[in-house]
Amino acid sequence: MDKKKIGIIFGGNSPEYSVSLESSYSVITNINKEKYEIILIGITKNGEWYKYDGDIENIKDDTWHTQEKCTKVILSPNPSDKGLIILEKNEIIKLDAIFPVLHGKNGEDGSVQGLIQLSEIPLIGCDVLSSSLCMDKYLSHKLAESYGINVAKNIVINNKTPKKEIQEKVEKLKMPLFVKPMRAGSSFGITKIESENELGQALEEAFKYDTEVIIEENVDGVEIGCAVLGNDELITGEIDEIELSKGFFNFTEKYTLKTSKIHVPARISKELSDKAKELAKQIYKIHKCKDFARVDMFLKPDGEIYFNEINTIPGFTSHSRYPSMMKKAGIEFDTLLEKLIELEIK
């Protein structure tokens, strides 16, 4: 029986390039090589596409693109090709599915997904619509709110909004506030402010990552997450809980856990856990997510749950939140990867 060829895209022209390298290394290491032939497709920070045939350890330490094992490629948008074009040889490598293990801008926002959809190669993960919608925090919140789901009160400004208008809008919100780039992940550019005096610097930081910024009221409570897997029939992992000793779950805390801890399962009742799982599945469906995603929420002391955001390509190391939640539900990492592949190649 011939092995199915699975293209794994890593890297990317994104602030979250380094995060993708970690996730991709873990995915590549744990995929069943006896069943699948892995075709590695690396995208540099400058957006150059290469087929990579070197040691995967070079992906982990970000020296892969300096190797002689790189060959320039493009993904053919022609459905009849269904594969990668090797530019030097003008040859095509057929692919049975593509798994973009990318994070943030130019990887998780629908751009790469659009190219894959044009090729008609099965795409592991969310499509163009759900990827771009989930990346836009304001539109995602508005959609959820239209279904009666709780979201934090917020406003939106851009880098051309007059200062007076910003001030008038902010005055309608209750401190503390979160200032966030509209379309960024891994908590890049996010600042929590306690007073208007901190707003200017927070906006400056957020505008480094996007031309639009969303400013949200703080939701008192704990942050919880739910891993969702599947399409018609959905499977959820165990709910996790982020315990913070100070501040918020920023980039540093997400990847070092210096002053925070993640509890899987969350330290909540079964009733609240089941409620969160059902809400996560509802949010997943109304955003038209496909294959997998992680739904992040806030649980207030009174038991009310607020929607925060959806990560359509969450962190994918073996110890990341999504695989950890699935592991607690009885799905080991290698099995999880196989389930994701089989969702598409079947």
- What pLDDT score was predicted for residue 259? 56
Stretches where the chain sits below pLDDT 70 are 1, 185-186, 245-259
Domain ranges of the chain: 4-124, 132-150+220-345, 153-217
> Which ranges constitute the DSSP H helices of 79-227?
111-119, 128-135, 137-146, 163-170, 199-206
* CA pair distance 322, 238, nearest whole angstrom: 9
Decide if 20 is catalytic.
no
Decide if 320 is catalytic.
yes
Report the number of secondary-structure helices (H) and strands (E) in the chain.
Answer: 11, 18
What the block records as the tokens of 3 is: 């092995």
Sheet arrangement for strand 212-217: 154-158, 212-217, 177-181, 191-193
- What pLDDT score was predicted for residue 188? 82
Q: Residue 277: which residues within 8 A CB-CB, separation 6 or more?
A: 226, 236, 239
What kind of fold does domain 4-124 have according to CATH? Rossmann fold (3.40.50)
Q: How far is CA 25 from CA 9, 37, 57, 200, 256, in A?
A: 11, 15, 8, 38, 18
Picking from 286, 268, 193, the residue whose alpha carbon sits closest to that of residue 225 is: 268
Please check whether the two domains, 132-150+220-345 and 153-217, share a CATH topology: no
Q: Residue 320: which residues within 8 A CB-CB, separation 6 or more?
A: 23, 26, 314
Say which of 131, 140, 186, 273 is annotated catalytic: 186
- What pLDDT score was predicted for residue 250? 47
- What pLDDT score was predicted for residue 253? 46
DSSP E strands: which ranges in the chain? 4-11, 36-43, 49-52, 70-75, 83-86, 91-94, 97-100, 150-151, 154-158, 177-181, 191-193, 212-217, 222-230, 234-236, 240-244, 260-263, 291-299, 305-311
Decide if 223 is catalytic.
no
- What pLDDT score was predicted for residue 260? 72
Handedness of CA 10, 39, 27, 284 (dihedral sign): positive
Say which of 16, 223, 238, 344 is annotated catalytic: 16
* CA pair distance 40, 52, nearest whole angstrom: 5
pLDDT in tens, 183-193: 876 578 899 99
CATH classification number, 132-150+220-345, choose in 3.40.50.970, 3.40.50.740, 3.30.470.20, 3.10.20.600: 3.30.470.20
- What pLDDT score was predicted for residue 318? 78
CATH classification number, 153-217, choose in 3.30.1490.20, 2.40.420.20, 3.40.630.30, 3.40.140.10: 3.30.1490.20
pLDDT in tens, 148-192: 999 999 999 998 999 999 999 999 999 999 999 988 765 788 999
